[in-house]
Amino acid sequence: MKDWNRTTVPVVVIGDKIVCPTCNGSMLHQVEVKVWFRREDADKATFAHVLGDAVLVDRKNYGNPSPRRSGLKIMLRCEWCHTDDLRPSHELVIYQHKGETFTEMRCHIEDES
């Protein structure tokens, strides 16, 4: 089963391009977007999930990368090192916590369990 690795790697930008943390290639395709807008410490968030032509809007906070505020996840697929698979290979995460904005990259890995 594939799962997102919770060990994060830095987001690397060369010039004006985000590069793949696996191969340093710049051919990253945006394949899915999840957005949470949450007022500080609110129980619920406004959640939007865009996948292909579909858009889901809900009032949930599950999966939000921010423990207190808003968050954003952009699922990416690297054209160079994941050519055989249309599923996302990386997840760019941007979130707010205590007034600061954080970025991290998560990589898709095989979970042996």
> Taking 90 as the threshold, does the pLDDT of residue 74 lie above it?
yes
- pLDDT at residue 29 is higher than 50: yes
Between 47 and 113, the more confident residue is: 47
pLDDT value of residue 1: 37
Query: pTM of this prediction?
Result: 0.85
Mean pLDDT of 82-102: 83
What integer pLDDT is reported at residue 4 of this predicted model? 55
> Cα dist. 35→4, 79, 80, 86 in Å?
17, 24, 27, 21
